[in-house]
Amino acid sequence: NAGVTQTPKFQVLKTGQSMTLQCAQDMNHNSMYWYRQDPGMGLRLIYYSASEGTTDKGEVPNGYNVSRLNKREFSLRLESAAPSQTSVYFCASSDGGRGETQYFGPGTRLLVL
Amino acid sequence: RKEVEQDPGPFNVPEGATVAFNCTYSNSASQSFFWYRQDCRKEPKLLMSVYSSGNEDGRFTAQLNRASQYISLLIRDSKLSDSATYLCVVNKDSSASKIIFGSGTRLSIRP
């Protein structure tokens, strides 16, 4: 039982490049989330998906897009990376969407030069 | 004022000591509360939920004070393995988009 997996673990991009962060969960959870974590700040919600086929903006959605491909997978895309998007990105899932326990992936460390 | 505030620490205490830290929240309508633990360069993991009546799990006790709008975490007989950052999480309502993470309190246990 792998839980929540994320790829890649590390990535270096140049300003303006695009990339997609992948996330998958094998716990049959309905809800999935993308967060970013910056030094001195709490995790901030970028986008979430309460159920398959739905996505909604979180606190900091600008510069990102998401796709809930199926119940297992939720991807995050940076269309034109900026240095301000240098961060650690965490994907999470939960059974419901009301603040129940969230299970996090190991994170993706992204550096935009 | 931040919606969820925590003392960043670090709290540096000897092994075996009791340590406590609080987390304040600004929205009085907040509905659910959690403590997560995050080890260095790792993902957050749920430590415990915080119920109105308070709850205890081994050496850990969490309490909620709605009147003063804070939650607390008490760790008794601290172990070296308790060294981590403790994140306070508040859900402002029943929507997933209203889950707010505090920036965390760093705890370091020394031998």
Per residue in B21-80, pLDDT (tens digit) is 999 999 888 888 999 999 998 999 999 999 888 899 999 999 999 999 999 999 999 999
Torsion angles phi and psi, residue B31, rounded to 5 = -110, -35
| Stretch A66-72: mean pLDDT | 95
Residues on chain B touching A42 (C-beta within 8 angstroms): 4, 87, 100-104
Residue B58 contacts by C-beta under 8 Å, 6 or more apart in sequence? Answer: none
CA distance A15 to A78: 11
Is B94 a residue whose pLDDT tops 90?
no
Find, in chain B, the residue whose alpha carbon is nearest to that of A45. B97
Q: Out of A1-5, B93-97, B100-104, which region has the weakest mean confidence (pLDDT)?
A: B93-97
For B74-91, give one letter per residue: b (16+ CB within 10 A) or e. Answer: ebeebeeebbbbbbbbbb
Q: Model confidence at B13, in pLDDT bands (50, 70, 90)?
A: very high
Q: Out of A37-46, A61-70, B10-19, B68-77, which region has the weakest mean confidence (pLDDT)?
A: A37-46
Is A81 a residue whose pLDDT tops 60?
yes
Distances (CA, A) of A38 to A12, A95, B56: 16, 26, 31
CA distance A22 to A85: 16
Best mutation target among B34, B41, B43 (most A Cβ atoms within 10 Å) is B43
- Tokens 């081994």 correspond to B58
pLDDT at A39: 85
pLDDT at B75: 97
Paired tokens of A5: 């997996």
Paired tokens of A88: 């650690």
pLDDT at B65: 94
pLDDT at A2: 79
Cα torsion B11, A105, A27, A19 to 10°: value is 150
Give tens-digit pLDDT for B30-39. Answer: 888 999 999 9
Tell how strand A31-37 and strand A64-68 pair up: unpaired
From chain A residues 35-94, the ones with a CB under 8 A of any chain B CB are 35, 40-45, 48, 50, 56-59, 90, 94
- Residue percentage of chain A with pLDDT more than 90: 79
Closest Cα in chain B, distance from residue A94 (Å): 10
Q: Model confidence at A1, in pLDDT bands (50, 70, 90)?
A: low
- What is the residue type of A38? D
pLDDT at B64: 95
Paired tokens of A26: 């094998």
Distances (CA, A) of B23 to A70, B5, B46, B87: 37, 6, 16, 9
Cis check for the bond before B14: say yes or no (omega within 30 of 0).
no
